[in-house]
Structures are given as structure tokens and as C-alpha cells.
Amino acid sequence: MKEKIKESLRSIIIDLYGSSESIHDEFEISIQDNKENQYGDLASNVALVLAKPLKRNPKEIAEEIKGKFITDKEIVKVDVAGPGFINFFLSKESHGAILRDISIQKDKFGKFESNNKKVLIEYVSSNPTGPLHVGHGRGAVFGSVLSRLLKEAGFQVDEEYYVNDFGRQMNILSVSLWIRYAQIFDKNIKMLNNGYQGDYLIVIAQHLKKLRSDELFDDDDEIKSLLEYENEEAEKHTDEVIDSIKSKLNDEFSYVRDFALREILELIKEDLLEFGVDHNKWFSESSLYESESHDLSKVDQSIDELSSKGFVYEKEGAIWFKSSELGDDKDRVLKRGNGEFTYFASDVAYHLDKYDRGYDRIINIWGSDHHGYLPRVKAAMEASEKNVEKLEVVFIQFANLIRAGKKVTMSTRSGEFITLKELIEEVTSEAARFFYINRKADQHLDFDLDLAKEQSKDNPLYYIQYAHARICSVLRKSKVQEEELTTSELGLLDSNKEIEIQKILKQYPPLIERAALASEPHLICYYLKDLASIFHSYYNTEKFIVEDQKLMNSRLFLLSGVKQVIYNGLTVLGINAPHEM
């Protein structure tokens, strides 16, 4: 209907004001839904937009356009309001056309044809030093739902997990695992003060013992003494501990490291899959340091790239990137004086690799504590003459877990956290997904466990799923096959609530497109809550199984449309639409 009105307006404007390029460069015909019935169903501000190039009063322009507009059985009235808005009143039957569209398209309703654009979404990317906890959940769900949403909007999507398997943190993890393994043979060995303390390493150490028996154990007094240090002294001696254990194990240290990484990644993958998150790509940070052509790693190549553009210099033995010349607050070190590469060097190489893979949109889902990284990464891409507009970063605010009104504190290294697996077991995967996504990404989120488990209208997910189950119940009781409803008389759906429901259903496809382009999947939650709310209100005021067969079929056809759209929306969220509750 909106396209039909646009075409009519375009024809009228050309007829009235000619096809002047100056006019048509100035405006785009926009059709909006009216929220207040007194102003009709749809409206256009085209007269206000034309006022400037035509140098005319917008209300006069609107009246001229209205005079030329031909009404029909679908558009029954055209009116002018306010400073020059053109309002369109639709027939009762035309509202119901959306029900026929939904009936034909079913689970394809709201799904767009392929636009041949490729998107890479990198999300979660938690350090592989322990199981995922509830703090990772929000970014995981956001990335997963956004990926589904983009696919629905016609994009080809790759979902990637960047594995931080390089550097000091992996050495600390390896040492922590070796100590847990050694403690099986000698309980007096202390854990590294700033090592990873969680019980998950005890389980992994037992797996290691099962495979290697006591082959990797070394009852070394020097290591034991180094582990006796506490607090600040312990931090000072961390690298000594790492070096000592590396020295004792030799090549076996790499075996312990790889074993720890493999076991923890397996835990992460299992938890993500149970949570409905399925990355189809896993990118290893350490691969950036493997030699490629001309014996250069991707990190070396990226530094050479920046250097060739004049953005690299040496100072005090270190290699620096001139990021301050491109919007960053200061220059950044790429390689330290001791020869170690920085995390930033990895970031530059990784993002250049993303560009080289030919994506139209590159989306990073980062925690809000990573705000400072964006200017330096964008600076590096700009210096490398990449299209910075392709790179989109969505910052996710941290989510607090609330139990019995109190915040749960967490720390990965100390081992004090609620794992994602435990959260799923407590509130179900679907409830966790909905509550994590049910707010804009940059807004603070308190995840209320008690509310997530509550079966009442106060629980938004329950309220939406209950709407679907209620409709399924009505359709079962009616004993009418949904295929029989396609010939229903749509003009019978003339109450305010029935018209409002049909208007809301029309909003679903443009909502999918808008949410996908803006990377705002929470809009689907808002939409489904609104749709469920108007449905429950309608359900409480009307009867559906009535003697008047025509009226019953028309109302059931409306309910069938609502059911399908709720199903489609929940599917994008990765949530089930139950048939009974």
C-alpha cells in the first residue's frame, strides 16, 4: 500500500510541478503509519519537503496534491492536516490484505531476498582461560540474534570467534594447569598467586593425568619456593615461575598449553551451542604470528604496510604507530623494546585480515570497556587505506546478575563466577537469551533471575509465548483448518483493536530491515511485546468461537496471522514458540 501511494504521489508531483531535476534531487517520498485514527492510517510529509524547492506554502501544495489524488476501494479518503501533512484513510478490507500476505508467505513473512552482501560478525571472543560466565552472555546473545536478523534481512553472514591464544595470559593458564596437575601428586604445592583458580582446571588436570600419568610431574623445590610468594611479591615472580616450569618441561610445556587450550575451547563451544550460539568460524590469534610469504607473519606484514604509508617510527627500541595523527589520543606501541608484540599489533593484523576477506560489513561486538580500542583500530585501518565505513563496532554494556534482589559478584581468575551453563540450567537457555537481548546494547542491564523464572505477564517472554500458545488453543478448539480461513471476509474485522492489530502486523517486515541495518535486535523484543499486549487485550474482550461462521473465520484468520508473526519473531531471537503452556 505504501508503494502504491508513493507511485501515485510521484506521478501527481511530476504532473503538477514538472520533472525538474532540482525538485527531485531535493526530496524522497516518505509514507509513515499514523498512530492516531483521527488522522487516518498513513501520512506523507512530501508537501513540506517540496515547500523549499518550490518556494511555496506547504499547505497549499498539499491541497493541490490532494485534489489530484484518485481514491478507490482501498484508499477511501485523502485529507490535509496541520502545516501540510497528507493523510490517507484505508478501507477495512485493505487492512486485511496483510493477513493474506502472511498466510501465503508463512515463515518467509518478513524475510528478504538475498542482497548479495557479505557480513562478518565477530563476537564473544572471550579469552580461552576458563568457561564462559554470565558476564559473557549478553554479547553472545547479541551477536547470535544480530546474525539471525541480518540473515533474515538478506545478508550472507559469517559468525566468528577470535581465539586469544597468544601471549602471557596463555603462559599463566598453562602454568595454572600444570600446578593443578602437580597437586594431584603433591598437595603442598601452592597455586600461582595470580593464576587461574577455578575448579574447572582441577577437572582438566585430572584429564591430563589420565592421559599422561605422572610423566609431566617434577618435584622441584625451586618452583615450590617461588610459589610461596604472596600478593605484590608473587606478581613480581610470576615470570620466574613461568620460565622455571618452561625450563623443566621443555617441549612438553607446549603440550600442556595446547591441552589446556583445547579442553577450554571445547567447554566454551559446548556452552555456546547449548545457548543457541553457533559460530561457523574460529580464528586463532597465534595464526597471525605464523610465517607466510617471504617468511613474514601477518603481524609483520601489517607493520610493513603501515610503515610503507609513513605511519611507523622507532623510539627507545620500540616500534610505534602514529595513531595520534588519525584521531587517537596518543601514538601506540606495536612492538616493545624487548621484541614482544603488543595486543594492538594483533588487532591491526586481525582487522586487516578481515578486510582482505572481502566483506561488505565488518561488525565487532565489544564490551563497553573496549571503547578506547576503537580510535586506534580505526586509525590503523585508515592508515592502511581501508574503507573505515565498513567497520562497525557495537559496544555492549555489562550485565549484572541479580538473585533475590542482590548483585552477584564475579571474577574469572579467582574462580568466583556463575557460569553460562549454570545460568542456563537455572532459567533455561531461551529465558536467558530473551532477557539478555531485551534492552538496547548500550544500556545498563540487570538480569533478574527471579523474574526470568516467573510465569506471569510481568515476565515479557512468558507473556509473548503465552500469546502464541493461547492462539494455538483457540484454533484447536475451533476445529477449523487454517487453510480454510484464506477466504475469510476481511471487512468484518472492523473494530479498533482488530484494525490496530493488522496495522502492527504490517510493521513487521520494515522492522526487520530497520533493525538489521541499525544493528538493533532488541527492537524485535519490543515489537513482540507490543503485539502480544494488544492480542491479550483483544482476547479478553472478544469471543472467537461463535455461531456466525463468517465472523468466526475472519477472527480466526486474524489470530492465525498474529500467531505466525510471533513465531517468526521468536525464531529470529532463537526462541521456541510453544503450542501449549
At 368-385, the pLDDT tens digits run 989 989 999 999 999 999
pLDDT-derived band at 548 (thresholds 50, 70, 90) equals very high
Please provide the average confidence, as pLDDT, over all residues in the chain.
91
What homologous superfamily does CATH list for 123-277+397-453?
HUPs (3.40.50.620)
Q: Which amino acid is at 274?
A: E
Instruction: Walk across the sheet containing 406-407 and list its strands.
Output: 406-407, 399-403, 445-448
Q: For the residues 23-50, what does the mean pLDDT come to?
A: 82
Q: 2-90 and 97-111+457-573 share one CATH topology?
A: no
Cβ proximity of 285 and 164 under 8 Å: yes
At 453-488, the pLDDT tens digits run 999 999 999 999 999 999 999 999 999 988 889 999
- Supply φ then ψ for residue 448, to 5 degrees: -90, 105
In order of 61, 228, 419, 436, 523, the CA distances from 400 in angstroms are 54, 35, 13, 10, 21
- Supply φ then ψ for residue 156, to 5 degrees: -90, 120
pLDDT-derived band at 261 (thresholds 50, 70, 90) equals very high
What is the C-alpha to C-alpha distance for residues 503 and 510, in angstroms, rounded to an integer? 12
Q: For the residues 485-508, what does the mean pLDDT come to?
A: 92
pLDDT-derived band at 65 (thresholds 50, 70, 90) equals very high
Of the chain, the end-to-end C-alpha distance in Å amounts to 37
Q: Out of 40-44, 48-52, 410-414, 440-444, which region has the weakest mean confidence (pLDDT)?
A: 410-414
C-alpha cell at 255: 603440550
For domain 2-90, is the CATH number 3.30.1360.70?
Answer: yes
Q: Residue 419 has what DSSP assignment?
A: B
Domain ranges of the chain: 2-90, 97-111+457-573, 123-277+397-453, 290-389
Spacing of C-alpha 389 from chain mean position = 19
CATH topology of domain 97-111+457-573: Isoleucyl-tRNA Synthetase; Domain 1 (1.10.730)
- In this prediction, residue 20 carries a pLDDT of 53
What is the C-alpha to C-alpha distance for residues 9 and 79, in angstroms, rounded to an integer? 14
- Supply φ then ψ for residue 83, to 5 degrees: -75, -5
- In this prediction, residue 552 carries a pLDDT of 95
- In this prediction, residue 53 carries a pLDDT of 86
How many CB atoms are located within 10 Å of the residue 342 CB? 18
What's the angle, vertex CA 135, arms to CA 133 and CA 138, rounded to 5?
A: 110
Expressed in percent and rounded to 5, the helix, strand and coil fractions of the chain are 55, 15, 30
Q: Are strands 42-44 and 31-33 parallel, antiparallel or unpaired?
A: antiparallel
Cβ proximity of 496 and 581 under 8 Å: no
- Which bin fits 219, alpha (ψ -120 to 50), beta or left (φ > 0)? beta
How many CB atoms are located within 10 Å of the residue 372 CB? 9
C-alpha cell at 349: 593484523
